[in-house]
Amino acid sequence: MNTAEHEIHTLTKTWLAACRALDMGGIMANYAEDIVSYDAVVGLRFVGLDAYREHWKMCVEHCPGPMVFDMPELSIVANDSLGICHSLLNCGAEDNGELKTSWMRATICWRKTDRWRVFHEHFSAPFDMDTGQALFDLTP
């Protein structure tokens, strides 16, 4: 792992911990002002830090219990100015005492200017083409 990959790995692990802790400050700490996100929840696209912050706020408020947010197969490729991460993401939360999670796909794109910042993020769930239903029961 080169230096850039190590730095991005550390930042990603810190971000995952902030997500699990529902820590908005930690979640938003590394996003660029011009972030463009294709999230799997609610909207088609979120453009800009303010829009994405509002989206994350809604997600955090929706998951008041312990949150699961893990990328066990995190892969990172980076050079001195650009980094790409991809992984399957196990995401969910406790609902009335029952843990409900699903596997999704995640791609995170980092750019280094003054420091590393996420400028693009994409979360998605596969779907059944015949029914249009998301396939939340798939496992790696």
Is residue 109 situated within a structural domain? yes
pLDDT-based confidence at residue 62 (cuts at 50, 70, 90): confident
pLDDT-based confidence at residue 67 (cuts at 50, 70, 90): confident
Task: Kindly report the pTM of this predicted structure.
Answer: 0.93
Query: Residue 88 pLDDT > 80, yes or no?
Result: yes
Task: Please list, in sequence order, all residues whose beta carbon lies within 8 angstroms of the beta carbon of residue 17, skipping any fewer than 6 positions away.
Answer: 26
pLDDT-based confidence at residue 53 (cuts at 50, 70, 90): very high
Is residue 131 situated within a structural domain? no
Residue 29: closest CA among 44, 42, 16, 47 = 16
Range of the domain at 75: 3-21+31-124
pLDDT-based confidence at residue 121 (cuts at 50, 70, 90): very high
Is residue 43 situated within a structural domain? yes
Residue 86: the pLDDT is: 98
Residue 90: closest CA among 72, 74, 78, 108 = 72
Residues 110 and 5: their CA atoms lie apart, in Å, by 10
Is residue 136 situated within a structural domain? no
Taking residues 133-140, report their average pLDDT.
Answer: 93
Is residue 84 situated within a structural domain? yes
Taking residues 63-92, report their average pLDDT.
Answer: 93
Place of tokens 């011009």: 34
Place of tokens 């995190």: 74
Residue 111: the pLDDT is: 98
Question: What CATH number is given to the structural domain containing 42?
Answer: 3.10.450.50
Is residue 138 situated within a structural domain? no
Q: How many domains does the chain have?
A: 1
